[in-house]
Each structure stands twice: as C-alpha cells, then as structure tokens.
Amino acid sequence: MLKRLQIRNFRGFNALEINQLSGLNLIAGKNNSGKTSLLEAIFLLAGGGNAQMAVNTNVTRGTEPDGVPVSDPFWKQLFFNLDMGRPIEIEVEHTSHGQLALEISLEQQPATSLDSVGEISATNLFDERALIFQYSGPSGERIKSHIQKKREQFEFSPLTKNPPFPAVILLSRTKNIHEDSIRLGILRRYKQGHLLLKALQVVEPRLQSIEDNSSSGTPMIWGDIGLSELVPLPAMGEGMTQIARLVLAIVTVPNGVMLIDEVENGIHHSVLPDVWRAIDEAAKQFRTQIFATTHSFECIEAAHQALGPDGFLLHRLEASDAENRCVTFKPNGISAALRHGLEVR
C-alpha cells in the first residue's frame, strides 16, 4: 500500500506532497486542481520505469490525432508549464517495497541514417527527442528505458523486470464491455462472483444472476431479471455499467492500486452508500488500495455514511498560480466538515 506521495513538475503540479494515505482515498478539488493528474502520476510510477507508458491511452488525454499519438507536442503536456528542461519526479513510500521513485526527462539522441549515395552518417535525423524513464526501485535498483518517435512509429526499450505493484486506472472517457466480461471470468475463478451480483442488486433488485456471454458476437455481461431472455448489462443503464466496472477492476489488481476518475458517474446518490460498501468489501477481499476522484458532496457523504469516519481519508487539492496544496481531512475532520456543511469538494 502507498503511504506517502510526492509529485514535482508533472502536468499542473509544480510540487505536491501528500504525507498520509489510507486504504481508501477520496480526491476532491475544483476543476483543474489536478485530481486526474494525481491518478496518472501513480499510474506512471506503477509501470516500474516502462517508458512505453508515455503513449498509453490512459494518460494521453485524447491528444492523439486520428488515433496516431504525437511525441513532443503530447510530451510537453506532461511537464509543468510545458517546461521540458526540468524532469518530472514522482516518489512514493510503499509498505512492502519501501521508497520508489520515477524521473522522466527528455534527451536528444543521435540517429544513424544512409545518405543519398549510401554513406552512413550519424545525425539527429528527427526533431523528436527521446523520453527517458529512470526508475529507482527496492534496494536501490535502477531501471532506465526510453521511447522515441521515428517517422510514424515509436521506438522503445522493453523492460525485463515486472512492475513493483499492479495498478489499473478507470477513466470516465474509456469503457470496454469486452474487458469487463473478461474480468468477470477472473472474479469467478476466485469464486467471488457474488460480490458483483450483490453490488448490482443495489440498483436492480430483480437481478437473479449474471453471465458472461458471447452470443451477440462479442463477450459482454448479461443479467437475468426474470424476463424470457437475458438482458445485456449496458441496456440496464449507466449506473449498472459503472458499478460493474468498479467491482470488476478490483479483482485485476490484488495487493495493488485501483485509480478511479469521477467515481460517482452514472450512479444515483440514493444508492451510493451501498455502492461504497460493495467497493470496500471487494477491496478488502483482494487487498486493493483505492484512489478515487469526485466532484460530489453526496459521494463524500455516502462514503462517510457507509464506511464510517475511519473508513477513508479525504484529500482536497488546491492550486493557485505555481503553488499546489493538499488538505487531508482525517476521520474527525471529515465528520466535522460534513456536520457543518463545509466546502470539501
């Protein structure tokens, strides 16, 4: 589990420090305060120095024209104030692995090419620089990799070691019903399919069973609500799909980290306490640490109602000019803030 987090020169963060993290962390703050960036920073670190993460669709924020990622213009967006002269630094303290750190920088690299008469010359043929990932792991081990665009392709150095801990990120803009179906199969392998059924019954009490079925041509989750045929989960509404995504993602990262952007999307506030109980039960079952962003006071209130003041920490990000600040509300602070209606979103 992550206990502490520092981020420097990443996206909107000049410098951010969070000194206390818990098993379940809610991230609040105004628009452009860095909530999604915080999730992306943890996701990049969890790659264990894999430079290919720089073009992962989970951190490109829709900057790929016609589905083809760009290099420098996109990579500039990773750096605070577009300043690629300063490295990005992400550091965490992990309960099992100790201090972990990732530094991301740009470096000009020479390219070897043939001229018109077949002579080999060393020259910087392309303007794009290589993005360098330098990772410091347990026991001081260091891993270095790079990614560089060459014409229409990316060249990268593959990693030979597994990442330090598994992580999955769920962004509001990306959904995959095929992936959800595969994850249901994994959940059933652990004989924990009842976790999802119980969570979905919060929204649809008629639900009797769930199946992963490919009869429509692609694998997806179907449910039995007492009709003559099974009904595909997406047809039951956005709330059902969102709850399924949340519970099913947890099973993919046992002893790891799940990062959720806008956790309350599509879920009515009246069922949020039960949804939080389902998330908490699954997270404890698979020992998964949760980081979830929210804009909703009702979502924070529901987590407090379902889990109690000791069930989570609330981190409110604040940004002004070049300064970043995180106010962490501990159990007593969460109770007082909610009781007095203080602005914590």
pLDDT digits (tens, 9 = 90+) for 221-279: 999 999 999 999 999 999 999 999 999 999 899 999 999 999 999 899 999 999 999 99
pTM over 0.95: no
| 217/336 same-domain check | yes
pLDDT tens per residue, range 159-214:
767 888 999 999 877 778 888 999 999 999 989 999 999 999 999 999 999 998 88
Q: Is residue 5 part of a domain?
A: no
Domain stop point among 163, 188, 206: 163
| 193/286 same-domain check | yes
| 127/58 same-domain check | yes
| Cα–Cα distance measured from residue 308 to residue 263, given in angstroms and rounded to the nearest whole number | 18
Q: Is residue 52 part of a domain?
A: yes
| 135/66 same-domain check | yes
Q: Is residue 321 part of a domain?
A: yes
Shortest CA distance to 332 belongs to which of 323, 322, 342, 324?
342
Domain stop point among 102, 135, 163: 163
Judge contact between 309 and 277, C-beta under 8 A. no
More confident call, 47 vs 127: 47
| 138/177 same-domain check | no
| 178/317 same-domain check | yes
| 97/216 same-domain check | no
| 150/291 same-domain check | no
Q: Is residue 184 part of a domain?
A: yes
Q: Is residue 123 part of a domain?
A: yes
| Cα–Cα distance measured from residue 328 to residue 27, given in angstroms and rounded to the nearest whole number | 9
Number of structural domains found in the chain? 2
| Cα–Cα distance measured from residue 64 to residue 62, given in angstroms and rounded to the nearest whole number | 6
| Cα–Cα distance measured from residue 295 to residue 30, given in angstroms and rounded to the nearest whole number | 8
Find the CATH number of the domain harbouring 235.
3.40.50.300
| 193/155 same-domain check | no
Highest mean pLDDT among 9-13, 120-124, 173-177: 9-13
β-partners of residue 325 are 318
Write out the residue range of the structural domain in which residue 271 sits. Answer: 173-340
- Phi and psi for 300 in degrees, rounded to 5? -65, -45
| 275/235 same-domain check | yes
| 136/199 same-domain check | no
Q: Is residue 1 part of a domain?
A: no
The beta strands (E) that lie in the chain are given as: 2-10, 13-18, 24-29, 88-94, 98-107, 111-114, 120-123, 130-136, 142-150, 153-156, 167-170, 209-213, 220-224, 231-232, 257-260, 289-293, 313-320, 323-329
Q: Is residue 11 part of a domain?
A: no
| 179/294 same-domain check | yes
Q: Is residue 198 part of a domain?
A: yes
Q: 3-class SS at 250?
A: helix
